Chain A
Amino acid sequence: MDVVDNLNAVRNGELSRRAFTRSLLAAGVGLMTAPLLPRRAMASNPDEATIFTWGGYDIADFYPSYIEKNGVPPNFSIFGGTEEALTKMRGGFVVDAAHPCNAGLKRWKQSGLFQPIDTSRLSNWGDVMPELVNMAENVDDQGTWMAPFDWGGTSITYRTDLFELEGEESWDMLWDQRYGGRLGSLGSGGDAWWCGAIKAGVPFKDIATDDAFERISAVMREQRPLIRLYSDDTTTLEQALASGEMVAAMTWNSSAVALQYDEVPVKFAKPKEGQLTWVCGIMLHKDAPNVDKAYEMIDAMLSPAAGQFMIGEYGYGHSNARAFDEFDDETLVGLGLSKNPADILGAGHFMIPQDQNWESRMNETFEMIKAGF
């Protein structure tokens, strides 16, 4: 249908209003159904493994040996957050493997949707760092639940030219009254609450106590008037840091890497209290339709080649110790990583998986504080 022609026809009085409305309707129906067409056209290949993962992991470079063997990358399905993913899977969405993080491990296990991983089927398993495999809740009498894949830190990215450091780098930077209204934070309690615990000096093993809730709430309330924006969207925080709208913000390492790549003078702080460390990994669905391919896919993700891509391009740590061999010390330190990843992991604070009731209570409390209560 030629829209321009229609407009001309209306202008010249050749087309009645009714006919015009009808062609508008046709155009509308066309627009509405257009998204359905390509989706059907590129409907996922049922013979390949499907991974349910974060945006940004849906590129071929993470799956080198899988592609070598099968000619195509696995199918991707994307989520924006692990809660959303778990909700969708509990609603009946079946994939071969998913990509949660250690903080959710306990609840993901409890959902009964996953099976332990047979690590003997993974050729790269021997190089996976034991500190990551043995994180809380991961290995029990039933086996290993999550194959660790990527890890990194949550800390403060700050503008070295705009933020005047007083003494050492510290979480106090995000509570600095001098920069009220020019600080930013990740909006999800999954990061912010744990950072608040570090600031409040609450040991993570006590994080479920009432006393911990009170102390963390107090520091979060103190911080709230200083925060310009709580955002779940890292790009928003990165743009605000780049423009100088914010001078410091709580981010993941990748934000600092992205900004440094654009030559914005920023640094990813190593707070003296320690940064928050997280590990994400792959869990196998109990009804995975392509189990064999799923193992091939996980093995590919754990390979040093995938790891080098992740470290070099994303600035995140990888679980395969050999992936770090390609990089010199200077590069790794610049990324907030190290030749000896155990150092970084040991210096940081590992989230301890909590149950659903804690998660709900924490999110409720944090939302109330963000709303000003």
Chain B
Amino acid sequence: MADVQMSSAPSARSQRPSGLRSMLYKSETARGYLLLSPALLVMVVGMLIPFTILIAMSFWTRDGFDFDTTMSMANYQTAMDVPIYNAFLARSFWISGITTVATVLLCYPMAYYVAFHVHRNKMLWIILMTLPFWTSYLLRVFSWKVILGYEGVINSGLLGLGLIDAPLEFLLYSQTAVIITLAHAWAAFAILPMYVSLEKIDRSLLEAAADLGDGPARRFFRITLPLSIPGVISATFLIFIPTTGDYITPALVGGPNSPMIGNLIQLQFGAVNNWPMGAALSVILTLWIAAVGLVFLFVTRKSQESVV
């Protein structure tokens, strides 16, 4: 704890009783940790300990009802060798990748509009945009079932207009349905960070660009877009990470071709009853997401540097 000693300022009025209290008064680091302690406690109890158990369990193997607790790489070996795991992983990245791109592309204009073209009642606009998220996630998934269903809103509408003869079957119970539902479900998490970073952009930069002869398109690509990239990046992460592990949406609106790695993990902890394998798959998924995230971060940072 060299930090503590270095940062503890000598005080002339240190007449207070010694002990914990005086240490707190003296040491900035200790004060910092004290302020952090509720969050740290939650992190350790709620995240660190379960994650350690998960990692330990992933090296065990299942033995009937019980676990064989001798350490082995068997689960990881299986995950490498059996093609289903990699295929599910690839499919999860594919589905959540498309979801992320679609969500960010659809939400950027909304965030842009509120940041630049709404001058009164901005708060109200933001609340209206997040209003659908005040209802339960399950309700929203089921409402998509109503919209996309065989006798749903879209199909009966198109049938009524005479545009199609038979209901479109690819709408529900397909990867399309999973992507649409996920994109809608996570829209608020894309709008808010992008709105914040668009809102922060200094308007005088845009005026300056206009004075120097840039048209609206060049202004957007040279100033607005690069300056809003932090918001886009956080939106991308906020959507990509949770949707990769999602399993409720594919279970409810997906068909035979849409289960994702989350469904497989859930099965290992449920019907298949192979917790160590489920733990290994969770760890693999975490590592993959971290790797993809780092690559993405690296690429965007490089491209940003080359722009600036």
Name A's B-contacting residues (CB within 8 A).
7, 10-11, 17, 20, 81, 83-84, 87, 90, 107, 110-111, 181, 188-190, 224, 227-230, 240, 243-245, 355-357, 359-360, 363-364, 367-368, 370-373
Contact = CB atoms under 8 A, between A and B. Distances in A.
A87 B268 CA distance: 12
B173 interface: yes
Given A11-B124, A20-B123, A360 B150 contact: no
A229 B255 CA distance: 5
Contact of B270 (A83, A228, A245, A373): A83
- Name the 6 nearest CB pairs between A and B, nearest first: A245-B150, A363-B272, A243-B151, A356-B64, A363-B271, A83-B271
A240 B84 CA distance: 29
B274 interface: yes
Nearest to B257: A372
9 contacts: A181-B169, A224-B256, A227-B256, A243-B150, A356-B64, A356-B65, A357-B64, A364-B272, A371-B259
Given A107-B65, A181-B169, A355-B64, A81 B257 contact: no
B88 interface: yes
B274 A360 contact: yes
Given A188-B271, A371-B88, 19 more contacts: A110-B64, A181-B169, A228-B169, A228-B255, A228-B256, A240-B150, A243-B150, A245-B150, A356-B64, A357-B64, A359-B273, A360-B272, A363-B272, A364-B272, A367-B267, A368-B84, A370-B256, A372-B87, A373-B87
A87 B90 CA distance: 29
Contact of B65 (A11, A20, A110): A110
B124 A87 contact: no
Contact of A111 (B65, B123, B173): B65
A245 B152 CA distance: 11
Nearest to B273: A360
A367 B262 CA distance: 13
A229 B123 contact: no
B269 interface: yes
A140 B149 CA distance: 50
Nearest to B65: A356
Most buried by B among A17, A230, A363, A364: A364
A373 B150 contact: no
B83 interface: yes
B264 interface: yes
A367 B257 contact: no
A20 B167 CA distance: 46
B64 A84 contact: no
A224 B257 CA distance: 10
Interface in B252-303: 255-257, 259, 264, 267, 269-274
A353 to B, nearest CB: 14
B168 to A, nearest CB: 11
Given A7-B124, A359-B273, A360-B274, A371 B87 contact: yes
Given A87-B273, A224-B256, A228-B255, A11 B121 contact: yes
A87 B124 CA distance: 46
B134 to A, nearest CB: 9
A371 B84 contact: yes
B270 A84 contact: yes
B184 interface: no
A17 B123 contact: yes
B191 to A, nearest CB: 16
Contact of A367 (B62, B167, B272): B272
Contacts of A11: 121, 124
A111 to B, nearest CB: 6
Nearest to A240: B150
Nearest to A86: B273
Nearest to A181: B169
Contacts of A370: 256, 259
Contacts of A107: 65
A367 B272 CA distance: 9
Given A181-B169, A359-B273, A363-B271, A373 B83 contact: yes
Contacts of B257: 372
A364 B270 CA distance: 11
Contacts of A355: 64
Contacts of A240: 150
A228 B169 CA distance: 9
A202 B53 CA distance: 42
Nearest to A24: B127
Contacts of B167: 245
Contacts of A368: 82, 84
Contacts of A10: 121, 123-124
B152 to A, nearest CB: 9
Nearest to B275: A87
Contacts of B124: 7, 10-11
